[in-house]
Structure 1
Amino acid sequence: MRALVLNCTLKPSPAVSNTEALARVVAGEMEKRGVEVEWVRAVDRNILPGVSTDMGAGDQWPEIHAQLLRAEILVIATPTWLGHPSSVAQRVLERMDAMLSETDDDGRPVAYNRVAGVVNTGNEDGAHHVISEISGGLVDIGYTVPGQSWTYWHLGPGAGPDYVDDERGHEWSDRTGRAMAANLVTVAEALRAHPMGPPPD
């Protein structure tokens, strides 16, 4: 089984990403359960604006799209900025919009029988809003979002330190992240054994 973590930090590599640090807790638990995890830091790629799978010359989204189709599990990891997902996360969802019209050989939407969850960090509050926005978009695209398939960390309300700079709250966020991983893998395994069919006519 494969998982893809799309890190939507605004920081290009090799800058330290708080969001990646928490996402690695989730990935580590999935790996313990036999899942192969791939990583993409979206800001490092040339993802052109648009709602098509391929926007033409220079667009690197088609490579990520191929990774999405190889993975049974997707984790979108994003910081909170001004109470919302990062602009990079929004662009990722906009590009994923094309998947609404893509089907597999059996006529199923390509996101069917795939699961997804959300990791969120920030030095302000708003995590539940961010998780809801991203989860809602993923459900629209066709992903299955299991119960408690998210984790977050912040010390809100108000601005404060970052995840990698402050140990407070790590125990809860990490424990919740491990539960998230377990739920994602369990539901992915169930869908593999009993896949959803194509939508009825």
Structure 2
Amino acid sequence: MRAVVINCTLKPSPETTNTGALAEVVVGALRERGVQVETVRAVDLNLPPGVRTDMGEGDDWPGVHRSLLDAEILVIATPTWAGHPSSIAQRVIERMDAMMSETDDAERPVAYNRVAGVVVTGNEDGAHHVISEVAGALIDYGYTVPGQAWTYWNRGPGPGPSYLDADSGHDWSAKTGRAMAANLVAVAEALAARPIPAPPS
């Protein structure tokens, strides 16, 4: 089984990212279950705006798209900015829009029988709103989002330390992240055994 984790931090490599740090908890739990995990740091790529799989010369999205089609599990990890997903996360979601019109050999949307989850960090409130925005988009595209397929960390409202600058709440976020990984694998295995059929015509 394969998974792709798209880190939608605004920080380019090799800068340390709080979002990536929490996502690594989920990555570790997936690998413990035998899942092969590829991590993509979207800000390092050239992802022009658009809603097509390939926007032409220099577009790095087609490579990400191939990874998505090779994986049964997708995790989108994003910081919270002004109560919303990062602009990079929004760009990723917009580029995924093309998948709605792509079908597999059984005439199913290509995201069918794949599962997805969300990781959120931020030193402000709004994690549940961000989870809802990202998960809602992924459901639209055809992904199955299991129950409790998310984890988050935030300091609470107002300014304050980031995930890597504080220890408060880490145990809960890690426990929830491990549960997220277990639920993603369990539902991915169930869908592999009994796939969702093509929609009625």
CA offsets 1:76-126 (integer angstroms, 9 cap, x no match): 000000000000000000000000000001100000000000000001110
Structure 1 runs of 4+ with >2 Å offset: none
| 1:58 maps to 2:58 | yes
Deviation of the 1:160 alpha carbon? 0.9
Task: Tell me the residue number matched to 1:105.
Answer: 105
Match of 1:72 in 2: 72
Equivalent residue runs for 1:129-140 within 5 Å? 129-140=129-140
63-72 or 154-163, which deviates more: 154-163
Distance in 1 between residues matched to 2:59 and 2:149, nearest whole Å:
30
Distance 1:197 1:143 in 2: 13
Distance 1:142 1:28 in 2: 26
Name 1:81's counterpart in structure 2: 81
Q: 5 Å matches for 1:1-201?
A: 1-201=1-201
Distance in 1 of aligned mates of 2:186 and 2:17: 28
**Partner SS for 1:151:** strand
SS at match of 1:62: helix
Question: How much has 1:159 moved relative to structure 2?
Answer: 1.5
Secondary structure of 1:46's aligned partner: coil
SS in 1 for 2:62: helix
| DSSP 3-state at the match of 1:65 | helix
**Unmatched segments (≥5 aa) in structure 2:** none
How many angstroms does 1:174 deviate by?
Answer: 0.4
Give CA-to-partner distance per residue, 1:11-38, whole Å, 9 cap, x none: 0000001000000000100100010000
RMSD after superposition? 0.4
Q: Provide the C-alpha distance between the structure 2 equivalents of 1:120 and 1:143, rounded to a whole number of angstroms.
A: 19
> Which amino acid counterpart does residue 67 of structure 2 have in structure 1?
Q
User: Could you report, residue by residue, the CA deviation over 1:159-187 in whole angstroms, capped at 9, with x for unpaired residues?
Assistant: 21011111110000000000000000000
* Amino acid of the structure 1 residue aligned with 2:58: G
Q: Distance in 2 between matches of 1:80 and 1:47?
A: 20
What amino acid is aligned across from residue 6 of structure 2 in structure 1?
A: L
TM-score computed with the length of structure 1 as normaliser: 0.99
Letter in 1 for 2:31: E
Aligned counterparts of 1:92 and 1:74: Cα–Cα separation in 2 = 12
- Identity across the alignment (%): 72
Distance of 2:17 and 2:192 partners within structure 1: 32
TM-superposition CA deviations, 1:108-151 (whole Å, max 9, x none): 00000000000000011100000000000000000000000000
Say how many residue pairs are matched. 201
Amino acid at match of 1:6: I
Deviation at 1:188, TM superposition (A): 0.2
- Structure 1: any 5+ residue segments left out of the alignment? none
Residue aligned with 1:111, SS: coil
Partner AA of 2:39 in structure 1: W
Alpha-carbon separation, structure 2, partners of 1:159 and 1:121:
13
